[in-house]
A and B are shown apart, each in its own frame.
Chain A
Amino acid sequence: MAAPIRHKYSEQVIHGVLFLCGALSILTTLGIVAVLLVETFAFFREVSVIDFLTDTQWTPLFADKHFGILPLISGTVLTAGIAIVVALPIGLVSALYLSEYASGRLRSVIKPVLEILAGIPTVVYGYFALLFITPLLQQVIPTLSGFNALAPGIVIGVMIIPMVSSLSEDAMFAVPQSLREGAYALGSSKLQVALKVVVPAALSGIAASILLGISRAIGETMILAIAAGQQPRLTLNPLVPIETMTAYIVQVSLGDTPTGTLEYRTIFAVGMMLFLSTLMLNMISMWLRQRYQEREA
């Protein structure tokens, strides 16, 4: 009877090891939160939270130091806003077309091709934004500076099109066929069915895809580090250089800021802000997605 007992023990050991693998994800989350909290608290011992949230200048690396995160937030909101203005109409219209109009064969070709957009490294997009889109835009807008919010915003928009379209299409595809048939029976045209039945029924999924797209745009780093300039300024003018939260972290990481200084801690305070905003958007997005998936089941 030795074998079954040995099996029993080894099974328990394996179970334990696999449990640790699963628990590692929890530890990663705890690690992120702990790291951000510890350094952020150290930061706020020297800088007041009020200054951080209301000062309109961000100059931690200058002699005259100001720690107002508003310029970084305005840069982030501006580029993410431009991105979503690009991705939303294109993503939604293509989702609606692929879900309601396109044949199965066409869909099976276009979807993977669209997904290539999401798989291209972001430094490549950065190159594209700085050396292709910006010069192109300068032909139309002569006042556009070499570094600006507009070009990287547009390029991030192109990058998140597949996320918006793929998630929205899933939601549209999940709308029960009976709803469409009911609308057709009442004499609706195809477009009326698409816009007045499918879109409203898939609204929670569509909203989820938009929030996820915004979250990705907020967290995007390299495109902005390359093409947006590194000048934190409180503006919503897309034609001038700006700096985002993510690009600031890159800027400090590239310099030789000594660890443990106040300047060093700023990247964790900014990272905390970034983490909290994307976490919130992701959670709402997940919750919305679950709603339509439950209804479907």
Chain B
Amino acid sequence: MRLEAGALSRMLLRRQVAEVGFRAVAVAALLVALGSLVALLLDAFVDGAGRLSWQFLTSFPSRHPEQAGILAALVGSVALILLTAVFALPIGVGAAVYLEEYEGRTWWARVIEVNIANLAGVPSIVYGLLGLELFVRALHLERSLLAGALTMALLVLPIIIIASREALRTVPNSIREASCALGATQWQTIWHQVLPMAFPGILTGSILAFSRAIGEAAPLITIGALTYVAFLPDGLLSPFTALPIQIFNWVSRPQPGFHVNAAAAIIVLLVVLLLLNAAAVYLRHRYQRRVQL
């Protein structure tokens, strides 16, 4: 093959320009994505930071934006998420254990697996429609904390199952074999050996699933959670509101004063999420060390 020296150097130059060009485009793309994140956080912080106060955290909603607070929403969100965990965690881990430890590659396990993957992609508002018909209407739970938590539990279940299965898969088989060789039954092996080892992974995945649930508004609105609540929930069947619903309510109003409240509530919501995520990271580190000892 004959190539003139000039043509070759021109080709190499073109290539170099293309390489530099692509790197520039890629960095620009990443900057747009990360820049949006920064803009979003800054926007909420600049708008809402001035409104944050002890009074804001400890007041009920009000028609006057400067007197309104998020007490009912904050307590509602915490109660909702704790209750969701009570339902979703044992069932999710149970399902994961069943699929990983009992069913190998059977067709039935495959059906459940595909089904779980599909459920994870169902829009959250469709879970709201299910909750509305099943919990609110058929089981007569009305617009209660319990109905909300059950709906949320179904919503996060696929995520918990998927995360728990991954955690179970990291437990080496030799542990199971050693335990069985000493005469332990399958459940004893799972309960005393496998689950403790998989625990940090399960916990991390589950906390991340709950932090998704704590930001969800759509299914709660669909089941009819209230947007104006001036009392604290006093039981499982009490009506309730949650932080994202309170934020939605305030954003949807025309008065700028409520928009400031929404921004302040957004800061609180993001801080709660940050704490949850930090807890996940911390727990994983702490327990991993203990298991390795």
Contacts and interface: CB of A to CB of B under 8 A. Distances in A.
Contact of A18 (B30, B102, B124): B102
Contacts of B247: 123-124, 127
Contacts of A286: 114, 117-118
Interface range on chain A: under 10, 10 to 19, 20 to 34, or 35 or more?
35 or more
Given A26-B111, A225-B248, A250-B221, A268 B129 contact: yes
B19 interface: yes
Contact of B40 (A18, A128, A259): A128
Interface stretch (B57-65, B153-161, B233-241): B153-161
Given A18-B97, A25-B161, A119-B212, A127 B262 contact: yes
A119 B273 contact: yes
A274 interface: yes
Interface range on chain B: under 10, 10 to 19, 20 to 34, or 35 or more?
35 or more
Contact of A21 (B98, B224, B273): B98
B230 interface: no
Contact of A246 (B185, B218, B269): B218
B22 interface: yes
Interface string A146-190: 000000000000100100000000000000000000000000011
A291 B221 CA distance: 38
A35 B129 contact: yes
Interface in A208-246: 212, 215, 218-222, 225-226, 246
B252 A226 contact: yes
Nearest to A136: B39
A295 to B, nearest CB: 19
B99 interface: yes
B217 A122 contact: yes
B36 A246 contact: no
A77 interface: no
B123 A161 contact: no
Contacts of B262: 127
Interface string B214-238: 1111100111100100000000000
A25 B157 contact: yes
B227 A254 contact: yes
Nearest to B155: A28
Interface in A12-55: 14-15, 17-26, 28-29, 31-32, 35-36, 38-39
B263 interface: yes
Contacts of A24: 91, 95, 157
B278 interface: no
A189 B18 contact: yes
Contacts of A96: 26
A241 B122 CA distance: 26
Interface in A86-125: 89-90, 93-94, 96-97, 101, 110, 113-114, 116-117, 119-125
A219 B215 contact: no
A275 interface: yes
B122 A275 contact: yes
B218 A222 contact: yes
B137 interface: yes
Nearest to B247: A123
Given A96-B26, A101-B26, A222 B217 contact: yes
A97 B27 CA distance: 8
Interface in B101-148: 102-103, 111-112, 114-119, 121-130, 132-134, 137
Task: Report which residue of B32, B129, B214 has the largest number of chain A beta carbons within 10 angstroms of its beta carbon.
Answer: B129
A282 B94 contact: no
B178 interface: no
Contacts of A32: 122, 126-127, 129-130
B15 A28 contact: no
A271 to B, nearest CB: 5
Contact of A90 (B29, B111, B119, B221): B29
Interface in A250-297: 250, 253-254, 259, 267-268, 271, 274-275, 278-279, 282-283, 285-286
Given A122-B215, A191-B15, A130 B116 contact: no
B44 A124 contact: yes
A249 interface: yes
Interface string B34-54: 101101100110010000000
Contacts of A25: 95, 112, 115-116, 119, 157-158, 161
Please list the 9 inter-chain residue pairs (A to B) with the smallest Cβ-Cβ separation, ordered nearest first. A121-B215, A219-B123, A21-B94, A97-B26, A18-B98, A282-B121, A221-B218, A21-B95, A22-B98
Given A36-B126, A124-B247, 15 more contacts: A17-B94, A21-B91, A22-B98, A24-B91, A90-B32, A123-B251, A126-B251, A127-B247, A128-B43, A128-B44, A132-B43, A191-B19, A219-B122, A221-B124, A253-B221
16 contacts: A19-B98, A19-B102, A21-B97, A24-B95, A31-B130, A114-B34, A117-B33, A119-B273, A123-B247, A124-B215, A225-B248, A246-B218, A271-B126, A275-B123, A279-B122, A286-B117
